[in-house]
Amino acid sequence: MVREEEAGGVPDGERVERVARSYYVDGETMEAIAVREGVSRSTVSRLLDAARSTGVVSIRVNPVHGRAAAMARELQQRHGVAARVVPLPDGAGPDERLQLVAEATGRLLDEVVAAGTVVGVAWGTTTGAVSRHLLARPLPDVQVVQLNGAMNTHSSGVGYGSDVLGRFAAAWGGQVHHFPVPAFFDHPETRQAMWRERSVRRVLGLQQAAGVALFGVGALGGAVPSRVWAEGYLTPRDRAALTASGVVGDVCTVFLRADGSWEGLDLNARSSGLPPPVLRRVPRRVCAVTGEDKVAALSAALAAGLVSDLVLDELAAHELLARRGPVRGTAGAQRRA
């Protein structure tokens, strides 16, 4: 019997995807694929052509951007982080900038997430965008754990959190572990009591076992507002107290002052987010940022030593390099000493 591919018919879609994955993802040769599939090498070539023409495979040539590369090197030298600066086309608006940074972050995660990795994800506008730009690559025993609660007085946050974390788990064939607690408790004593519950302690244990953490930075205002600042998580009294305390933003719903300090803030005693000392123990801490309005908060996160890998657009990178302040996690290092 002559296969339809050999006879010049329409290739089978499942075979096209299987052959494309073997060649582009697994690195197999055309000869090896031909032997396994029981077809000729020329048929494998036609299947790969079909994968490209039908959009199963998308090949993109990234131009070398000397300015972005130079800024990335300077950020690494100044802040001690592995930086990726995303070039922007002329006239790129806020949403396009967000999507380009999310796409670059998805490629970085493809490099750092391996079999058996526990990946901690802090929900937010940026990480939600990243979840739509992941490269699908099933990996054994990947665990995706939520790093901060999402409930508030207006919403349980379950639907949003499930959608975002579900896309991460689907990309890697992993298991999701939700954190069904409020983003902020009304009283510190309530959080302390919840943290003694076995179901909550299980999630806290997974968070502390994370090999990779993904988060953005929150900031008040901006063209793409942070969810924690824009969607009912903070009362007017909370906002006033944060402003009076010199807070510039948050990471994992833990608020930071401009120098990277976080201690002594009432809201942090009620936050469900991962405290900076715990976050700093995660080996790969991937922070994705877009927009100049996030730079003050990003600078605080860098001063606190919370970031190991940074992805940001070139305009935000330019603004960050123009700032002066603590470098290489000096504020966090001083508090650890």
| Nearest partner of 128 among 112, 152, 106, judged by Cα | 106
Q: Indicate if the pLDDT at residue 236 is higher than 90.
A: no
- Given a cut of 80, is residue 102 above it in pLDDT? yes
User: HEC states along 40-59?
Assistant: CHHHHHHHHHHHHHCCCCCC
Q: Note whether 1-59 and 66-336 share their fold.
A: no
Architecture of domain 1-59: Orthogonal Bundle (1.10)
Query: What would the mean pLDDT of 296-305 be, rounded to a whole number?
Result: 96
Per-residue pLDDT, averaged over 29-53, amounts to 87
pTM above 0.85, yes or no: no
CATH of domain 66-336: 3.40.50.1360
Q: Are strands 118-121 and 82-86 parallel, antiparallel or unpaired?
A: unpaired
pLDDT tens string 301-314: 999 999 999 999 99
CA dist 311 and 197 (Å) reads 36
8-12, 50-54, 146-150, 165-169: the lowest-pLDDT one: 8-12
- Every domain of the chain and the residues it spans: 1-59, 66-336
Contact assessment for residue 73 and residue 104, using Cβ atoms and an 8 Å cutoff: no
Residue pLDDT, tens place only, 44-94: 888 988 888 887 877 655 554 688 999 999 999 999 999 999 999 988 999
Position 254 pLDDT exceeds 80: yes
How far is it, in rounded angstroms, from Cα 114 to Cα 152? 34
- The answer to whether 299 and 325 have CB atoms below 8 angstroms apart is yes
pLDDT band at 30 (very low <50, low <70, confident <90, very high): confident
Residue 157 has pLDDT above 70, yes or no: no
Q: Rounded to the nearest 5°, which phi and psi values hold at 218?
A: -95, 145
Q: Residues 17-45: what's their mean pLDDT?
A: 86
